[in-house]
Amino acid sequence: MTVIPFPERAAVPHRGIVTICSMIATLMQALDNTIANVALPYMQGSLSTTLDQITWVLTSYVVAAAIMTAPVGWMAARFGRKNLFLACVGGFTVASMLCGIADSLTQMVVFRVLQGMFGAALVPLSQATMLDLYPIQQRGSAMALWGMGVMVGPILGPTLGGYLTDMYDWRWVFYINLPFGLLAMAGLWLFMQNTGHDTKLRFDWTGFAVLSLCLGAFQLMLDRGEQLDWFSSAEIVLELIL
């Protein structure tokens, strides 16, 4: 039986640096899914909100991320993966800083929406980048390494969030992203290779609007269902219909 070897692939320059920067981006996004949870009581007092209101800090991020995950593939093909990656890491870092300086619930929710929108692309972009960096024979090991960032982030989030809140201030659960975001941006900008893009691609705005409405309503139903006693609430019933 003849074994057909995988075709050799030229080594990608600075592969290790790009791998580390991609993992940092993944870790930041995964971390922010849970790091703010333990800081909510402190935010509630600082921003003068009720318990029901402060949960929007979590809900807004999750809903925005769920909606903006859908067009990531189109945006990468339209603008180029490197350009989109840099924009998302930069936007996520700036949004994290804005969350840290927010002094009202309205500002916090708006900035968390921005954080979720920019953060939505970080995981799929970093995953695609890892597949481009490594030949087929090494992709299993590479994706296992990448998966560590995805798994460690949510696990580490509550512990790190509690430590930062207790030792410093709740705002540091957002400020912690700044040095890592800047480091990831610098590494990707300097060492990641450009990818092709098609400026003539058209976007299905109608489909995206319908999908956004459905995803947003479904995510809100899941996040607020228990709080509003599920289907005894008109809001939850409406979100289910949508």
Specify the CATH number for the domain of residue 109.
Answer: 1.20.1250.20
Look up the domain containing 240 and give its range. Answer: 204-242
Q: Domain check: are 210 and 168 in the same one?
A: no
- Contact in structure between 150 and 30 (CB atoms under 8 Å): yes
What percent of the chain clears pLDDT 70, i.e. is strictly above it?
Answer: 89
Q: Domain check: are 190 and 212 in the same one?
A: no
Q: Is residue 228 part of a domain?
A: yes
Q: Domain check: are 189 and 80 in the same one?
A: yes
Q: Domain check: are 106 and 183 in the same one?
A: yes
Give the pLDDT confidence score for residue 77 in this predicted structure.
86
Q: Is residue 6 part of a domain?
A: no
Q: Domain check: are 82 and 115 in the same one?
A: yes
Give the pLDDT confidence score for residue 11 in this predicted structure.
54
Give the pLDDT confidence score for residue 58 in this predicted structure.
84
Q: Domain check: are 188 and 211 in the same one?
A: no
Q: Is residue 1 part of a domain?
A: no
pTM: 0.83
Give the pLDDT confidence score for residue 52 in this predicted structure.
78
pLDDT at 110 over 70: yes
pLDDT at 177 over 70: yes
**Which stretch of 97-101, 131-135, 225-229 has the lowest confidence by average pLDDT?**
225-229
Q: Domain check: are 69 and 184 in the same one?
A: yes
Q: Is residue 56 part of a domain?
A: yes
Give the pLDDT confidence score for residue 46 in this predicted structure.
83
Q: How confident is the model over 203-230, as a mean pLDDT? A: 74
Q: Domain check: are 175 and 216 in the same one?
A: no
Q: Which of 156, 173, 195 is the last residue of a domain?
A: 195
The three state secondary structure string of the chain is: CCCCCCCCCCCCCCHHHHHHHHHHHHHHHHHHCCCCHHHHHHHHHHHCCCHHHHCHHHHHHHHHHHHHHCCHHHHHHHHCHHHHHHHHHHHHHHHHHHHHHCCCHHHHHHHHHHHHHHHCCHHHHHHHHHHHHCCHHHHHHHHHHHHHHHHHHHHHHHHHHHHHHHHCCCCHHHHCHHHHHHHHHHHHHHHCCCCCCCCCCCCCHHHHHHHHHHHHHHHHHHHHCCCCCHHHCHHHHHHHHC
Give the pLDDT confidence score for residue 12 in this predicted structure.
61
Q: Domain check: are 157 and 66 in the same one?
A: yes
- State the chain's mean pLDDT as an integer: 81
Give the pLDDT confidence score for residue 8 in this predicted structure.
45
Q: Is residue 5 part of a domain?
A: no
Q: Is residue 238 part of a domain?
A: yes
Q: Domain check: are 140 and 228 in the same one?
A: no
Q: Domain check: are 100 and 76 in the same one?
A: yes
Q: Is residue 4 part of a domain?
A: no
Structurally, how many domains does the chain consist of?
A: 2
The per-residue pLDDT for range 41-94, each reduced to its tens digit, is 888 888 888 877 888 888 888 888 888 888 888 888 888 888 999 999 999 999
Q: Domain check: are 208 and 179 in the same one?
A: no
| Residue of higher predicted confidence among 153 and 166 | 166
Give the pLDDT confidence score for residue 39 in this predicted structure.
85
Q: Is residue 180 part of a domain?
A: yes
